[in-house]
């Protein structure tokens, strides 16, 4: 990643690049090594997207204009409930911003 930033935590790895769009784009990845069953991967990915959507609506993530952000889930993230996921994402995105 030449122009971007990366933030690693125990539950997620966030990677950001300057985007070409006027808004922030998100991608959530849950690998096969983390959750072998596709139903588990899809469920966790939907939960992460839902948590991000709520945080964006509450404006809890700050100003993220014009970024492309990838959220990579790690194995311990499978055991997180949505409120814990939100607090972890807020902390990581804020440290990614600074």
Confidence (pTM):
0.87
pLDDT of residue 1: 46
Instruction: Return contacts of 49-56, CB within 8 angstroms, 24+ apart.
Output: 50/82, 51/82, 51/85, 51/86, 51/89, 52/26, 52/28, 52/89, 54/86, 55/86, 55/89, 55/90
Domains of the chain, earliest start first: 5-97 (3.30.230.10)
pLDDT in tens, the chain (98 residues): 467 889 999 999 999 888 888 788 999 999 999 999 999 999 999 999 999 999 888 887 777 778 889 999 999 999 999 899 999 998 888 887 66
The Cα 55–Cα 49 span in angstroms is 10
């Amino acid at each position: 990643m030449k122009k971007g930033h990366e933030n690693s935590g125990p539950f997620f790895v966030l990677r950001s690049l300057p985007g070409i769009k006027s808004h922030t784009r998100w991608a959530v990845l849950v690998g096969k090594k983390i959750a072998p069953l596709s139903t588990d991967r899809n469920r966790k990915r939907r939960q992460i997207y839902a948590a991000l959507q709520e945080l964006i609506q509450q404006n809890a993530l700050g100003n993220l204009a014009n970024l492309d952000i990838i959220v990579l889930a790690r194995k311990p993230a499978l055991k997180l409930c949505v409120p814990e996921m939100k607090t972890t994402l807020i902390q990581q995105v804020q440290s990614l911003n600074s």
